[in-house]
Amino acid sequence: MLGLAVVLSLGACAEDVCDAERMPTCDIRQEGCQQTVVDMVACLRGDTVTETPPVTVISPEELEARLRGGADPMMMETLQLEGALHQLGMLDADASLFEAAVADRVAGTRAFFSSTENAVYVVDRGEPADSVEVVGTLLHEMVHAVQHQEHDLFALAAEAETHEALLRARLAVEGEATFYQLEALAWSEGHRADEIDWDAYFDGWVARTQSELDEGGSPFFVVYRRFPYVLGARHAAGRWVVGGDEAVRALPATPPEASLAFLRDPWSGHPPLPRRLRTSPCDAPPPPPAGYDRALREEMGAPFLYAFLRAGRRLSHLEARSHADRWQRDELFVYGGPDGRVAVAWRIFTEDEDTARALEADVLERGFRAAAALGTVTLVATPPGEATGWSWDAPSPECALP
């Protein structure tokens, strides 16, 4: 882990910033400091920045009010998934998705960039406004501001029609910003990016994130709120090692075809990614159980599958990733029943039939009903005592991979 040594505050002029031996620090509440941080972004990314967004310091209470008022564009829009996440064991049994999301953001957010306002908000956590940590946090958000100028982050989020697409966008956007924040923290100790053993650094961070996945009761939030920073930054670092800053800057506009790519360690040899299925090979969704109507169709992505498989603790992290590594597409169908109850059918398309059979065995051991055939496994989950006769037998021939 990179240390966070305290450095001297410098009133650096723009032309001197890139030549500073250590990352300049200053009071982020001052406009001059905010411009210095923007200049540092240009130094690290290897480009120029023409616009400095306004910066406002707010309290955690003000952050919570914004979240509850819907002003924060990064607030999740997947509340209809709550029942499905409960059924799959990806959200604490007693947790409200909205309340859990607000609590997670209030506890963990140090700053955020609002693409709708083109403004940065820094949450006052009691740290000195000129500390390395706070300056590095503002730099992260200034990277988002530059990304917005280049790619329109609001449009990128609006184009994401599924959880998989939104996660892929977050992995790319947060990955770039976090990589440059880490590079800045290294700079604060007098190190440059090419002096960092990125492979070893991310080994430790990934291990800590795996522990968080195991210890928490809501794996969904680790996938949605932690993976974009850890796995996204690791992917960005891998791009930087091969293609430099130009390759990292292009990440939000040219992310990998599937979020599966972010699960892979960029420094280890891997077979080619499985061919991404852009459309479903199946003509029809699983039929709803009696008394239920279809409410939602989603795609969750390989990182979600990995977290789901690990949540049962039957598989090691390596085994769960190995199964997820053969993901080609998935379809989550949510059916609404009486009193807000839901039933779930989740169809996962894999690279080969052996993987589907292994997934089926693991899912059955978890207590779900499942069937596998032709490289596809489908599991169903219902409330206790509900729709006990509902099943989705082995997928029909039209589900065969083309």
Lowest-confidence pick of 77-81, 250-254, 352-356, 379-383: 77-81
Check pLDDT > 60 for residue 164. Answer: yes
Predicted local distance difference test score (pLDDT) of residue 68: 87
What would the mean pLDDT of 122-150 be, rounded to a whole number?
95
Check pLDDT > 90 for residue 29. Answer: yes
Predicted local distance difference test score (pLDDT) of residue 8: 30
Check pLDDT > 80 for residue 79. Answer: no
What would the mean pLDDT of 211-234 be, rounded to a whole number?
92
Do residues 274 and 179 make contact, with C-beta atoms less than 8 angstroms apart? no
More confident site: 328 or 295: 328
Q: How confident is the model at residue 80 (pLDDT cuts 50, 70, 90)?
A: low
Mean pLDDT of the chain: 87
More confident site: 280 or 26: 26
Q: How confident is the model at residue 172 (pLDDT cuts 50, 70, 90)?
A: very high
Q: How confident is the model at residue 136 (pLDDT cuts 50, 70, 90)?
A: very high
Predicted local distance difference test score (pLDDT) of residue 290: 83
Predicted local distance difference test score (pLDDT) of residue 385: 64
What would the mean pLDDT of 207-216 be, rounded to a whole number?
91
Predicted local distance difference test score (pLDDT) of residue 26: 95
- Cβ partners under 8 Å of residue 254, min gap 6: none
Q: How confident is the model at residue 77 (pLDDT cuts 50, 70, 90)?
A: very low
pTM attached to this predicted model: 0.90
Ramachandran category for residue 22: left, alpha or beta (phi over 0 → left; psi -120 to 50 → alpha): beta
Edge-to-edge strands, sheet with 376-381: 293-298, 327-336, 342-350, 376-381, 369-373
Check pLDDT > 60 for residue 9. Answer: no
Check pLDDT > 50 for residue 319. Answer: yes
Lowest-confidence pick of 129-143, 163-177, 253-267, 386-400: 386-400
Structure tokens at 166: 């939104």
Check pLDDT > 70 for residue 13. Answer: no
Q: How confident is the model at residue 157 (pLDDT cuts 50, 70, 90)?
A: confident
Q: How confident is the model at residue 47 (pLDDT cuts 50, 70, 90)?
A: confident
Burial pattern 334-371, b for ≥16 Cβ within 10 A else e, equals bbbbeeebbbbbbbbbbbebebbebbbebbeebebbbb
What would the mean pLDDT of 181-191 be, rounded to a whole number?
94
Check pLDDT > 80 for residue 191. Answer: yes
Q: How confident is the model at residue 389 (pLDDT cuts 50, 70, 90)?
A: low
Predicted local distance difference test score (pLDDT) of residue 2: 32
For helices 353-365 and 317-324, what crossing angle results, to 10°?
A: 130
Check pLDDT > 80 for residue 390. Answer: no
Predicted local distance difference test score (pLDDT) of residue 11: 36
Check pLDDT > 90 for residue 247. Answer: yes
Lowest-confidence pick of 42-56, 60-74, 328-342: 60-74
Predicted local distance difference test score (pLDDT) of residue 74: 39
